[in-house]
Structure 1
Amino acid sequence: MSNNSVSALDIARRLPGIMRRFPSIARGYYYYALKDGNRELTLGTLIERNAERHGQRPAVLFDDRVITWNEFNGWANRIAGFLRAQGLTKGDAIAVFLENRPELLAVVAGAAKLGVACAMLNTSQKGKVLEHSINLIEPKMVVVGEELIPSFEGVKDKVKTSHPTPFLFVPDVNTLNAFGEAPEGYLNMAERVSTFNSDNPELCDPPRMGDTAIYLFTSGTTGLPKAAPGSHRKFIKAYGGFGLMSLAMEPEDVLYCTLPLYHGTALLVCWGSVLAGGSAIALRRKFSARAFWDDVRRYRATTFGYVGELCRYLLNQPASDQDRAHGLTKMIGNGLRPSIWREFKERFGIETVAELYASSEGNIGFSNFFNMDNTVGFSTAPYKLVKFRDGTRDPIRNTKGHMEEVAKGEPGLLIGEITKKWSFEGYTQKDATEKSILRDAFKKGDAWFNTGDVLKEIGCRHLQFVDRMGDTYRWKGENVSTNEVENIIDGSGMVEEAIVYGVEIPKTNGKAGMVTLVPHSNGREFDVNRLFAYLKANLPTYAIPVFVRVTQAIEKTGTFKYRKVDIQKTGYSLDRAEEKVFAWLPKTEGYTRLTPELVADIDGGKVNF
Structure 2
Amino acid sequence: MAATMAELVRAQWGDHRPGVTSHEGTLTHHEVAAGAAARAALFGELLPRGAEPHIGVLLDNVPEYPLWLAAAALAGAAVAGINPTRRGPELARDIAHTDCALLITERAHLPLLAGLELTVPPERVLVVDDPAYRELLGPYAQTRPDALTGAAPTPASRMLLYFTSGSTGAPKAAVCTQGRLAAAGHSLVRYFGVRREDVHYLCMPMFHGNAVIAGWAPALAGGAAVALRRRFSASGFLPDVRRFKATYFTYVGRAVQYLLATPPAPDDRDNPLRTGFGTEAGAVDAERFAERFGVPLIEGYGSSEGGASLQRTPDTPPGAIGRPAPGDDLAVVDPETGAELPRARLDGDGRLRNGDEAIGELVNRGRSSFEGYWRNPEATAARTRGRLGGRVGAGWYWTGDLFFRDAEGFFHFAGRTDDRLRVDSENLAAAMIENILARYAPATGVAVYAVPDPVAGDQVMAALALRDGAAFDPEDFVAFLAAQPDLGTKMAPRFVRTLTALPVTATNKVHRVALRRAGFRCPEPVWWTPSAAGPPEAAKLPEPSARAGSSYRRFTDEDRAALLAQYRDHGRAHLLDG
- Scaled by the length of structure 2, what TM-score is found? 0.69
The answer to whether residue 379 in structure 2 is matched with residue 416 in structure 1 is no
Name the structure 1 match of 2:16: 56
The answer to whether residue 263 in structure 2 is matched with residue 282 in structure 1 is no
User: Structure 2 vs 1, CA of residues 97 and 469 (structure 1 numbering), >3 Å: closer, same or farther?
Assistant: same
Alpha-carbon separation, structure 1, partners of 2:321 and 2:52: 35
Alpha-carbon separation, structure 1, partners of 2:387 and 2:263: 53
- TM-superposed deviation, 1:337: 0.4
One of 336, 345, 353 as aligned partner of 1:396: 336
Alpha-carbon separation, structure 2, partners of 1:219 and 1:236: 23
Alpha-carbon separation, structure 2, partners of 1:59 and 1:549: 49
- TM-superposed deviation, 1:208: 0.6
The aligned amino acid for 2:59 is: L
One of 112, 128, 131 as aligned partner of 2:73: 112
User: Structure 2 vs 1, CA of residues 578 and 444 (structure 1 numbering), >3 Å: closer, same or farther?
Assistant: closer
Is the contact made by 2:47 and 2:102 (CA closer than 8 Å) also made in structure 1? no
Name the structure 2 match of 1:13: none
Name the structure 2 match of 1:140: 101
Alpha-carbon separation, structure 2, partners of 1:502 and 1:449: 30
- TM-superposed deviation, 1:386: 1.3
SS at match of 1:272: helix
One of 143, 156, 160 as aligned partner of 1:214: 160
SS at match of 2:254: helix
The aligned amino acid for 1:577 is: E
Is the contact made by 1:362 and 1:425 (CA closer than 8 Å) also made in structure 2? no
- TM-superposed deviation, 1:467: 0.8
Name the structure 2 match of 1:349: 294
- TM-superposed deviation, 1:369: 4.6
Name the structure 2 match of 1:439: 386
The answer to whether residue 239 in structure 2 is matched with residue 294 in structure 1 is yes
The aligned amino acid for 1:370 is: P
One of 256, 272, 276 as aligned partner of 2:217: 272
- Kindly report which structure 2 residues correspond to 1:307-322, keeping only aligned pairs within 5 A, or say none: 307-322=252-267
Name the structure 2 match of 1:564: none
Alpha-carbon separation, structure 1, partners of 2:187 and 2:466: 30
User: Structure 2 vs 1, CA of residues 203 and 458 (structure 1 numbering), >3 Å: closer, same or farther?
Assistant: farther
Is the contact made by 1:169 and 1:190 (CA closer than 8 Å) also made in structure 2? no
The answer to whether residue 346 in structure 2 is matched with residue 407 in structure 1 is no
- Kindly report which structure 2 residues correspond to 1:474-485, keeping only aligned pairs within 5 A, or say none: none
One of 274, 289, 307 as aligned partner of 1:363: 307
One of 119, 123, 127 as aligned partner of 1:160: 119
Alpha-carbon separation, structure 1, partners of 2:127 and 2:223: 30
- TM-superposed deviation, 1:375: 3.4
Q: Which shows bigger deviation, 225-234 or 371-380?
A: 371-380
One of 427, 430, 437 as aligned partner of 2:377: 430
Task: Tell me the C-alpha RMSD between the 2 structures.
Answer: 3.8
Name the structure 1 match of 2:488: none
Q: Which shows bigger deviation, 422-431 or 210-219?
A: 422-431
- TM-superposed deviation, 1:379: 2.0
Is the contact made by 1:367 and 1:377 (CA closer than 8 Å) also made in structure 2? yes
Alpha-carbon separation, structure 2, partners of 1:340 and 1:550: 29
One of 567, 579, 585 as aligned partner of 2:560: 579
Is the contact made by 1:362 and 1:451 (CA closer than 8 Å) also made in structure 2? no
SS at match of 2:362: strand
One of 195, 198, 207 as aligned partner of 1:250: 195
User: Structure 2 vs 1, CA of residues 224 and 572 (structure 1 numbering), >3 Å: closer, same or farther?
Assistant: farther
Alpha-carbon separation, structure 2, partners of 1:233 and 1:502: 44
Q: Which shows bigger deviation, 250-259 or 301-310?
A: 301-310
Relative contact order, higher structure (CA 8 A, sep 6+): 1
Identity %: 25
SS at match of 1:195: helix
Structure 1: stretches of 5+ with no match in the other structure: 1-30, 32-39, 172-178, 181-187, 388-394, 483-500, 510-535, 552-568, 582-609
Name the structure 2 match of 1:461: 409
- TM-superposed deviation, 1:300: 0.8
The answer to whether residue 171 in structure 2 is matched with residue 225 in structure 1 is yes
Q: Deviations over 1:99-122 (max 9, x none)?
A: 111101111211221111111111
SS at match of 2:403: strand
- Scaled by the length of structure 1, what TM-score is found? 0.65
- TM-superposed deviation, 1:438: 4.0
Alpha-carbon separation, structure 2, partners of 1:146 and 1:502: 45
